[in-house]
Chains A and B, each alone.
Chain A
Amino acid sequence: MTAVDLAPAEEFEFKPGQGKVLLLACGALAREIVDLIERNRWSGFDLQCLPAKWHNTPERIVPALREKIAAARGRYDAIFVLYGDCGTGGLLDAMLEAEGIQRLEGPHCYAFFSGNAAFAAHADEDITAFFLTDYLARHFDKLIWEGLGLDRHPELLADYFGNYTKIVFLAQTRDPDLATRAEAAARRLGLAYEYRFTGYGELERDLTAQAV
């Protein structure tokens, strides 16, 4: 983990299909994972992603991952899963235990980006918070606004967000454009806005531990 001062000529580009450790991840983490791989010049990883939109239908996650795992068996030295529990109610962990495969720690991305312990410690004061990550700020319109049908039925806004008071933007990168988007999202939902920089949090820690 020595810090390397990268000259542009030495830039490292992730190429799928080469590493011996397969990362099976939620599509909402793809950009972050590739960024970490390139920054750290990890050459041992391969990466496959499942659709991020399954966020809203978590019952699809476990069967799809099981299939991916079956297809990958024997072709890699190891497999590591980058998903939270994500609303599978423990079914993901049960399946992974049976398969003898590990995943990154935490219930969802808001927690592992913030740091699981820190997120839990804030739980009381954040009870009326709706969290955005870089990914959600970037795709707010598609995933949240349209995903919840608010484009067609804006009258449902209070049914969804009536109990919320603030958007907390958990930022993985320092990107002013994303912050502007997150703030606009808050305005659209009629909520207060708060910015918290998290970096990659425990995603980075747990991925580093798998690097060979």
Chain B
Amino acid sequence: MSDDGELDLNSLNDEELVQQVHDDLYDGLKEEVETAVHILLGRGWAPYKVLTEALVEGMRIVGVDFRDGILFVPEVLLAANSMKAGMNILRPLLIATGAPRQGKMVIGTVKGDIHDIGKNLVGMMMEGAGFEVIDLGINNPVEKYLEAMEQHKPDILGMSALLTTTMPYMKVVIDTMKEKGMRDDYVVLVGGAPLNEEFAKAIGADAYCRDAAVAVETAKSFMARKHNQLASN
């Protein structure tokens, strides 16, 4: 079966193969995605090009159909796992080839909450977009966030919450950052299905991101602003 698959994929030209990766990601076919990544690399594609044109673009399409209610959580998970498998192949090569770095993000689900599917997806897409991502996992008290910011000096802090009861904890973290006079040193992005723009504003976050694609765009635009500010100083 995998022999057949490989033969088929090898017979495709680059454009068809990239299209096939998008389809295989959509269908959550992990082995096929891995095979195609190897083939593209074998054809001399730069790891960064494989990442962005094949994997990230494929996952973007999955994200759109999830947002529009065409795909559901299990399909998104399968697609994400396939993308993860592809990224595992690319990661060491990306480091070796010095792919462009956008910035650094610390991300974690807040205290009391152990939902992590959305957070993991955001982390993966941020990595795919060239950010270094430090994932603190789930159920993070404010101390954990502070420690990680101290240690890793990220540009961005990302917090995720899926429960109405844990959303307010984001404010605890932001207020503590204010108390310590470090709030303005970071861009704070928040997300999770029950959140909205208004809530993000009320707790003093920089932005609410509806999904992973918006998270990437928002993070990039904050990074661009930061660079412009540095340049004009």
Measured between C-beta atoms, what is the minimum distance from A121 to chain B in Å?
A: 13
Q: Mark B149-166, 1 if CB is under 8 A from A, else 0.
A: 000000000000011110
- Do B164 and A127 touch (CB < 8 A)? no
CA A59 to CA B73, docked complex, whole Å:
15
**A-binding segment of B32-40, B41-49, B174-182, B194-202:** B194-202
Q: Are B194 and A87 in contact (CB under 8 A)?
A: yes
Partner of B78 from the list A56, A107, A128, A153 (CB cut-off 8 Å) is A153
Taking a contact as CB atoms under 8 Å apart, the answer to whether B77 and A159 are in contact is yes
B98 interface hit (Cβ, 8 Å): no
Apart from the given pairs A85-B194, A89-B196, A163-B116, 9 other A-B contacts in the complex at a CB distance below 8 Å: A59-B193, A87-B163, A87-B193, A91-B196, A107-B165, A149-B72, A156-B77, A163-B114, A163-B138
A contact patch SS: loop
Q: Determine if A107 and B163 form an interchain contact, defined as CB atoms under 8 angstroms apart.
A: yes
- Pairs of residues from A and B, 6 with the lowest C-beta to C-beta distance, nearest first: A149-B74, A89-B194, A85-B164, A163-B114, A107-B164, A107-B165
- Residues of B within 8 Å of A85, CB to CB, are 164, 194
A117 contacts B by Cβ under 8 Å:
no
Residue positions of A touching B, CB distance < 8 A:
56-59, 85, 87-91, 107-108, 111, 120, 123, 127-128, 148-150, 152-153, 156, 159-160, 163-164
Question: What is the interface of chain B mostly: helix, strand, loop, or mixed?
Answer: loop
Interface residues on B, range: 20 to 34
Residue of B whose beta carbon sits closest to that of A146? B74
List residues of chain A with CB within 8 A of the CB of B167: 89
Chain A residues within 8 Å of B138, by CB? 163
Min C-beta distance of A53 to chain B, whole Å: 12
- Are B114 and A164 touching (Cβ within 8 A)? yes
Q: Please tell me if the beta carbons of A90 and B81 are within 8 angstroms of each other in the complex.
A: no
Contact across chains for B164 and A90 when beta carbons are under 8 A apart:
yes
Residues of A contacting B69 with CB < 8 Å?
Answer: 57
Pick 16 A–B contacts, CB within 8 A, sort by A.
Answer: A56-B73, A59-B193, A87-B164, A89-B167, A89-B193, A89-B195, A90-B199, A107-B163, A108-B164, A148-B73, A148-B74, A149-B75, A150-B74, A152-B74, A159-B77, A159-B117
With both chains docked as a complex, state the minimum distance between the C-beta of B106 and any C-beta of chain A, in angstroms. 19
- Confirm or deny: B204 has a beta carbon within 8 angstroms of a beta carbon on chain A: no
Judged by a CB distance under 8 angstroms, whether B103 is at the interface is: no
B164 touches A159 (CB 8 A): no
Say yes or no for B139: interface residue by CB 8 A criterion.
yes
Q: Mark B113-127, 1 if CB is under 8 A from A, else 0.
A: 010110000000000
